[in-house]
A and B are shown apart, each in its own frame.
Chain A
Amino acid sequence: MRDFWKAQVEIERFLSLEARLLEQNRFDEWIDLFTDDVHYVMPVRESVEPAATGGAAAHSTGFALFDDDKRSLELRARRIETGLAHAEIPLSVTQRLITNVLVEDSDVAGEYMVGSNFLVYQERRGRHSHTFIGSRRDRFVMVGQKWKIDYREISLAQTVMPATISIFF
């Protein structure tokens, strides 16, 4: 039980620090929070009849918004750092609220499934803003002495997104 609460406190702190890295556009340090074999995915949301399926299905076999590994996340970061990616010129101001952090045991001892909710406010050039809202499901594993994420599934609450996405979640 003591390990569990220790993990809850450490992981909450991890997620807050992660949000700060993204707010400060420190992409390499952010990517370093993931394992080398990370799977980073944001499915597409749609509602399907009959409603018995839950009405809102996320299809792993269908299309997706993100379906990335470490190499493609790094390529995305390199693109922004070229200084030629207009969607991030000037860099967006983002403010990130991370809440409802729930650490749960996984099938493997010492690894945890972690749910969190997020609200990400994105400001463009002082003229436009978008808000993305949703939840994440992360798997935390210990690599060396450090927590890392080896799986992240991001579920946006929005079906029609307010804008294209040039930021990370």
Chain B
Amino acid sequence: MTQFQSIVRPEKGLIGSEVFSQELYELELERVFGKSWLFVGHDSMIPNKHDYVTHYMGEEPVIVLRDSKGAVRVFLNKCRHRGNALCLYDRGNAQSFTCSYHGWTFTDGDLTGIPYYKKAYLEELDMNEWGLIEAPRIDTCGGLIFACWDANVMPLDDFLNEGKWYLENFLLQEEMGGLEVLPGPQRYIMPINWKLLAENFAGDDYHFVSTHASVGQALSAGQDNRIAVTPGAVRENTHDFSVVTGYRNGVPHGFLELKCGPGPLDQDLNQAKSMSKEAVEWVTERHRRLQERMSAFDSNPHSFHAGNIFPNLALIGAGSALYGKGLICHHPRGPNKTEVWMWCAIEKSAPEEVKERQRFVLLQRQAAAGMVAPDDHENFQRISENLHSPESRKWPLHYGMALGHDDDDPRPTELRNDRQWPGHLIPQYSEVIQREFYRYWNTLMTADGHE
């Protein structure tokens, strides 16, 4: 019996808190983050040649560069000579990068300059051998850039599997002009293991009522309803589901609050009416195009609200035309520490007033100083305090909601004849996604005969 078989038991709805230990943290940096496609940016962050952003892949610092030929490339942010950090900025435009220690210079990743090459190196060093370390795989999906350190990883399309349908239809909205990522990510520490954030965004609709009750109550008591854009108030005739992709044998991406019915549009239109005629027209046109794409379905599918692309790209705000799209990268920083980088993406085709509103709603809600994320922070802090003491860690955590019903069709009778959505549809409140998350995590951790 391997240690993993005893601590990761999704089929019993039990996960041991050892999955949050220092020992496994170090292993998962290689086995999970080293083997998965990771989000490293969006096309709109680096529109021109020589534009770059710095980012992290797990704990690896990288430069995401649009090179002199216009191709996007990802390099370890590390000089090949003595390993000094090469690029010091969050973003910028640079023809080349020069190390501050001895002055080695790299252009498009190639080593192109060595001070005293003749006097010190006698021109004998093969400069072709000492270019920057480059991520061997890079690909994009609707402007989202992903990279992977494993040359043998499956293609990005296979990795995203049915999740691609949800991204393309509900988040990226390419036929509406796509997304534009605003400069300046919020960056903050969450005092918790990255997996608890991933499983929360991927699959935890269950926590909203208890964790985030204050927002709804404040909205109903207050005068300002500009951020009331999740369709809680319009539940009538609206159905709510979740979906997990790669069910039982693939990569588990989770999407929450998949809506069917007129509720979400009604909510957006009510908001838009309080803004302007232009806003109403844009929301209406956006919805018309969505309906056109969804014409094969009778059940009036709308969008998802939150989600997680395995392992650490979380998404928020796709459920409303007036909610900025949060692209949230959960960078692991230790067994009990995650550095969150959160960008706001707005919809390019939206009128200026709507773009402003999207940004406003996102920063007021699921954001570093918003009215949602700080309550998650507090719960996660309390969990972290309880993970590692000897008695405490003996007891596994409960992931057993409705265990044994994972394959039940959650749709009410009137929707049963409609076409099935891609992926595995599950009820709004469910822990199937979390169980699938740890099932796949376990697969990665034990791949290649690891124990």
Residues of A within 8 A of B (CB): 42-51, 55, 59, 61-68, 71-72, 74-76, 78-82, 84-87, 89, 124, 127-128, 159-166
Residues of B within 8 A of A (CB): 87-94, 182-191, 211, 213-215, 217-219, 221-224, 226-227, 339, 342-344, 359-360, 363-364, 367-369, 371, 373-379, 381, 385
Chain A residues lying within 8 Å of B379, measured Cβ to Cβ, are 86
| Contact between A75 and B90, CB atoms less than 8 A apart | no
Other than A47-B90, A63-B342, give 5 A-B pairs with Cβ distance below 8 A. A49-B88, A59-B184, A124-B378, A162-B188, A166-B375
Chain B residues lying within 8 Å of A59, measured Cβ to Cβ, are 182-184
| Contact between B363 and A67, CB atoms less than 8 A apart | yes
| Contact between B182 and A66, CB atoms less than 8 A apart | no
- Choose among A50, A61, A159, A161 the residue that contacts B182 (Cβ–Cβ < 8 A): A61
| Contact between B363 and A48, CB atoms less than 8 A apart | no
A122 to chain B, nearest CB (A): 11
Given contacts A71-B223, A164-B374, A165-B369, contact A65 B89 (CB under 8 A): no
Chain B residues lying within 8 Å of A166, measured Cβ to Cβ, are 374-375, 377-378
Closest to A161 in B: B188
| Contact between B363 and A65, CB atoms less than 8 A apart | yes
- Choose among A50, A81, A124, A164 the residue that contacts B368 (Cβ–Cβ < 8 A): A164
| Contact between A163 and B377, CB atoms less than 8 A apart | yes
A68 to B226, CA, bound (A): 12
Chain B residues lying within 8 Å of A127, measured Cβ to Cβ, are 385
A162 to B381, CA, bound (A): 13
B359 to chain A, nearest CB (A): 7
B450 to chain A, nearest CB (A): 32
Given contacts A42-B369, A59-B183, contact A67 B359 (CB under 8 A): yes
Chain A residues lying within 8 Å of B226, measured Cβ to Cβ, are 71-72
Of residues B87, B218, B342, which shows the largest number of chain A Cβ atoms within 10 Å of its Cβ? B218
A14 to chain B, nearest CB (A): 24
| Contact between A78 and B218, CB atoms less than 8 A apart | yes
- Choose among A46, A66, A81, A128 the residue that contacts B91 (Cβ–Cβ < 8 A): A46
Given contacts A61-B182, A71-B223, contact A160 B363 (CB under 8 A): no
A78 to B221, CA, bound (A): 8
Specify the main secondary structure of chain B where it touches its partner: mixed
| Contact between A86 and B378, CB atoms less than 8 A apart | yes
| Contact between B360 and A67, CB atoms less than 8 A apart | yes
| Contact between B359 and A159, CB atoms less than 8 A apart | no
A128 to B382, CA, bound (A): 10
Closest to A69 in B: B224
A163 to B189, CA, bound (A): 5
A74 to B219, CA, bound (A): 11
| Contact between B214 and A82, CB atoms less than 8 A apart | yes
| Contact between B374 and A87, CB atoms less than 8 A apart | yes
A165 to chain B, nearest CB (A): 4
B314 to chain A, nearest CB (A): 14
Chain B residues lying within 8 Å of A75, measured Cβ to Cβ, are 218-219, 222-224, 227, 364, 371
Closest to A70 in B: B224
Chain B residues lying within 8 Å of A45, measured Cβ to Cβ, are 184
Chain A residues lying within 8 Å of B93, measured Cβ to Cβ, are 49-50
Closest to B224 in A: A71
- Choose among B185, B191, B371, B374 the residue that contacts A44 (Cβ–Cβ < 8 A): B185
Chain B residues lying within 8 Å of A49, measured Cβ to Cβ, are 87-89, 91-94
10 closest Cβ pairs, A-B complex? A49-B92, A62-B184, A87-B374, A44-B184, A165-B369, A79-B218, A85-B214, A166-B374, A84-B214, A71-B224
A161 to B182, CA, bound (A): 19
Chain B residues lying within 8 Å of A71, measured Cβ to Cβ, are 222-224, 226
Closest to B97 in A: A49
Chain B residues lying within 8 Å of A124, measured Cβ to Cβ, are 378, 381
| Contact between B186 and A62, CB atoms less than 8 A apart | no
A61 to B356, CA, bound (A): 10
Chain B residues lying within 8 Å of A55, measured Cβ to Cβ, are 89
Chain B residues lying within 8 Å of A68, measured Cβ to Cβ, are 364
